[in-house]
Amino acid sequence: MSRAGSSSADKPVCRFCGTGLSHTFVDLGTSPLCQRHVTPQRFNQAESAYPLHVYVCHECFLVQLPSYVAREEIFDGEYAYFSSYAMLEHGRKYVEHIIPKLGLKSGSHAVEVASNDGYLLQHFLPYGIRVLGIEPTSNTAEAARKKGVATICKFFGVQTAKEVLAEHGPADLMSANNVLAHVPDINDFVGGFKKLLAARGVATLEFPSLYNLIANNYFDTIYHEHFSYLSFTTVERIFAHHGLTLFDVEEIGTHGGSLRIFARHTEDGSHPVTPAVEAMKAREKAAGHYSLDYYRGFDEKVKETKRAILSFLIDAKRAGKSIAAYGAPGKGNTLLNYCGIRTDFIDYTVDRSPVKQGNYLPGTRIPICHPDKISQTKPDYLFLLAWNFKDEVMKQMAHVREWGCKFVVPLPEPLVLD
């Protein structure tokens, strides 16, 4: 198997195995960067838009978006997403789960790649566990340091792993939540885990499941930050190439259904491969993971969903209904831009993050407001762009039912909930 090489817009190649890409998974047209919110000062300035044409490799079946945008343009410097606004409790539960599972103790060394604002690592501190975050965006890294989480502001790969190893020593635990999909050079990234992980160390990574994306029509999770869309089987193949064995897997509920994988050095026999690994591979094989037919129907399924969403919005507006949205997540911008939904359908959206409030969604220029605006304007529908937090949002916004407002969950197909 050849290794991944350079790729151009007209001749993309697989970022893992280097095979030429020619099979379309889905084409969502063009869209601006999903976390590049428009400030009032830039409202009258043009935005750059890039293709969202996703391919599947017929050799290794890695579903991927070619690197139309450099990672430095997406992630370097200021970043609008702070994990503590959505993933704080998830981070706490992870720490409480992983410490006894791996037998971590005071003095153990935990490293998180793409550690954002320290939402996870901060929970290790009361246990006396040494922590180190590796995070490329400067504003989130600074927020982590203010919480007492030592953080290096760099992209992760083999070179960074060597530097961290020399200065801080090997990691007993390496974690990387919702980042494996975000790296354009997946071989360099996984190679860094091989380099930094202690001889008996364990790495855990979480990523949205391709199986769930296809089954539930979650096309809005496709955006420029996500270079790859991952199945367990393909990830296992990538890690094996770098001398790492996946010995366990857990299904978790984040982002519409994700996988948490556990990796060790292949030469380390202290963690036997669990039955969950074979069960996951068998499920993906039964679904058709090794056949291009499994991937070919997704594009048309997405087009039909777009038609259904627009039909709902058109009927609602013709009936004189007002519509506001909840959330300003990256996935919401894919959905809005692909469907052509702007302020002609949705008056505004709200978000709890003060970093986003007062700005506008990229492309659509829908204003982002404080959640209090919902009670002030009393819309007829609340369109949940952050559908992956549906239960939490509906509980938090239960008071909207007082004036008859209904919730709208757009995917896997538009659903109105009282």
Does 257 lie in the same domain as 127? yes
Domain boundary among 279, 295, 311: 295
Does 255 lie in the same domain as 115? yes
Could you tell me if 121 and 135 are in contact, meaning their C-beta atoms sit under 8 angstroms apart?
Answer: no
pLDDT digits (tens, 9 = 90+) for 62-92: 999 998 877 667 655 555 455 555 566 888 8
The CATH number assigned to the domain holding 224 equals: 3.40.50.150
pLDDT digits (tens, 9 = 90+) for 20-31: 999 999 999 999
Phi-psi region of 244 (alpha: psi -120 to 50; beta: other; left: phi over 0): beta
- C-alpha torsion sign, points 369, 370, 376, 379: positive
pLDDT digits (tens, 9 = 90+) for 194-233: 999 999 999 999 999 999 999 999 999 999 989 999 999 9
Does 362 lie in the same domain as 215? no
pLDDT digits (tens, 9 = 90+) for 292-315: 999 999 999 999 999 999 999 999
Does 281 lie in the same domain as 168? yes
Nearest Cα neighbor of 32 from 373, 361, 392 is: 361
How much is the pTM? 0.90
% of the chain surpassing 70 pLDDT? 93
The CATH number assigned to the domain holding 405 equals: 3.40.50.720
Residue 65 lies in a domain: no
Does 254 lie in the same domain as 155? yes
- Please tell me what DSSP assigns to residue 129: -
| H runs (alpha helix) in 351-396 | 372-377, 390-396
At 214, list the tokens: 């296809």
Does 365 lie in the same domain as 325? yes
- The pLDDT mean for the chain works out to 92
The rounded radius of gyration (Å) of the Cα atoms in the chain is 21
Does 263 lie in the same domain as 167? yes
pLDDT digits (tens, 9 = 90+) for 335-351: 999 999 999 999 999 99
The number of distinct structural domains making up the chain is: 2
Does 291 lie in the same domain as 173? yes
Q: What DSSP string describes 175-242?
A: EEES-GGG-S-HHHHHHHHHHHEEEEEEEEEEEEBHHHHHHHT-GGG-STT--EEB-HHHHHHHHHHT
pLDDT of 389 higher than 90: no
Residue 349 lies in a domain: yes
Residue 28 lies in a domain: no
> Of 71-85, 121-135, 243-257, 276-290, which gets the smallest average pLDDT?
71-85
Q: How far apart are CA 42 and CA 361, in angstroms?
A: 12
For 373, the domain range is 320-417
Please report the pLDDT score of residue 3 as a whole number. Answer: 47
Please report the pLDDT score of residue 2 as a whole number. Answer: 39
% of the chain surpassing 90 pLDDT? 83
Using pLDDT thresholds of 50, 70 and 90, give the confidence band for residue 1. very low
| Residue that has been written with the tokens 């990387």 in this structure | 176
Q: How far apart are CA 16 and CA 29, in angstroms?
A: 24
Residue 19 lies in a domain: no
Does 356 lie in the same domain as 268? no
